[in-house]
Chain A
């Protein structure tokens, strides 16, 4: 209808501008996203499939993959619980300092990961505030798995809460109040009413949290101690191999990271569709 009403020149122009913009978008995406990703795979396979396989299956690389997954497997559920609790508290209760709490939850977003790592070092390191106590009890946190989990927890803590708070605010407490009025217990209300309402947002937050936990470099680098085959996560391992002049190995390790990221991306897209449909 509008085609008939508008003059032909305007119609022509209105088609040229979007085309130009779309073309620009495609070119930029190719140059800055698709090509670098393609280069990762091209470099990783530059010396053939056998070399690629050997690099991915190298014990240190396998251990790095294992460690990265272990950290994510522990960090993500903890952050889901934390995010749920925080969002519940903030959207269902009114109390003084609520705004402050929201700001605090988002703090890790604005703190550079490297600073986060150093904070933990200053707290739990041997020279740190809790150092003497930890040493006396022979508890090792820094330069070991617990420390790497802690900093990853810190860096990824806002993701779930950030997804849940707006949704739960919009949904309001009506359904839950109705459930309670009808005699449901607290747990019943949570499992039957709250959780089904927010589960897609919760999963979406978890996916974002996973992506970040797996890719985290700065904070983990500070507290890892770089012990090969022991405290080296995949991102750290990529850097290490690159500095070893083992470019193929570095890119091979990078492909595993990229593949994990791609899987996460697909999951994210699927979840987004579910979320939009609701």
Chain B
């Protein structure tokens, strides 16, 4: 018994803050669910660069989860030094509830603090048997679409907004017709999963649906991963700009004294080396030389911004996603 007690005491001591002081610099990146492979490549590249530049060894830890869930965890005390999310609103939450990030976090880094961007695109089955080319094909009665539940998934919210923006343009700004369009689109979804990866499983493993809609980067990843299934990628004529915002969590980094490292880490995402890795993973980037090299990967597409079409995220949230909003109206049970 005594031995067990002293063992237990040793474990408790080893996790107490006192013991944690003379470890190498460590930063924690709280990120969204499907970015694991991406940061598994980014992190070693950055640590090598940092070591060459400063001689300092650092370790980057990763935490992945739905980006809203991650924001919530940080509010509850998860010690993340930086966030790399797929939703602007999830960083805004960190700003609004207790000032975890700077008020002007979107101006702290170039391009609205989004080192890369993507867009909802389509993955269709081998040979594209249903001839799916654009959003208008997804409301045909013979086409089944798969994407997660827009109520729970940021990814699906982009899909919803892209379809809405497309319909709004087709209908020359007629909101009623746009709403009818997304209503028909949602009615064609056989299963609503809670997150992007679950929707992928539904489409790939369970073989449900004719088209899977998710970020272009993810669509390419799935095609590569399941090469034997011969999936094809379709980029619609119009889609919505999905920014992948980053920020230093000042409140945490300030306390842990990691601000400089955290900032350098996010700066690295904008460097040519960083942008190269991002583009390798089918994310669209801003660096001219990298864009030039990967031209073939990214078909031309017209991207609209949430700010232009919907008047900003606050307005979208209030009008579309809040309780009793437009989404609730068009998202009827079949």
Quick one: given A145-B15, A230-B61, are A225 and B73 in contact (CB under 8 Å)? Answer: yes
Q: Does A243 contact B (CB under 8 A)?
A: yes
Task: List residues of chain A with CB within 8 A of the CB of B63.
Answer: 225-228
How far, in whole Å, are A230 and B61 apart by their CA atoms in the complex? 8
Binds A, one of B3-11, B237-245, B297-305: B3-11
Nearest CB in chain B to that of A73: its residue: B7
List chain A residues, Cβ under 8 A from B211: none
Among B173-196, those with CB < 8 Å from A are none
Q: Does B28 contact A (CB under 8 A)?
A: yes
Closest A residue to B36 using CB positions? A244
Chain B, 6-35, contact with A by CB distance < 8 Å: what is the 0/1 string? 011001100101000000000010000100
Say whether B61 contacts A229, CB under 8 Å. Answer: yes
Are A144 and B73 in contact (CB-based, < 8 A)?
no
The CA of A244 and the CA of B40, in the complex, are separated in Å by 11
Inter-subunit contact A139/B17 (CB<8 Å) = yes
Interface size class of B (residues with CB under 8 A): 20 to 34
Determine whether the beta carbon of A140 is less than 8 Å from that of B61.
no
In the complex, what's the smallest C-beta–C-beta distance from B219 to chain A, in angstroms? 14
A interface, size bucket: 20 to 34
Q: A127-B76, A140-B79 are in contact. Are A74 and B8 (CB under 8 A)?
A: yes
CA distance A138 to B11 in the complex (A): 18
Closest chain B residue to A225, Cβ basis: B78
Given contacts A77-B4, A144-B15, A243-B33, contact A227 B76 (CB under 8 A): no
A-B contacts besides A73-B11, A125-B76, A126-B76, 15 pairs, CB < 8 Å: A70-B11, A74-B11, A74-B12, A77-B8, A78-B8, A125-B77, A128-B76, A131-B77, A142-B77, A144-B15, A145-B15, A226-B64, A227-B28, A229-B61, A243-B33
Sample 5 A-B pairs with CB under 8 A, ordered by A number. Answer: A74-B8, A74-B11, A125-B76, A143-B78, A227-B61
Q: Which residues of B contact A (CB under 8 A)?
A: 1, 4-5, 7-8, 11-12, 15, 17, 28, 33, 36-37, 61-65, 73, 75-79, 197, 225
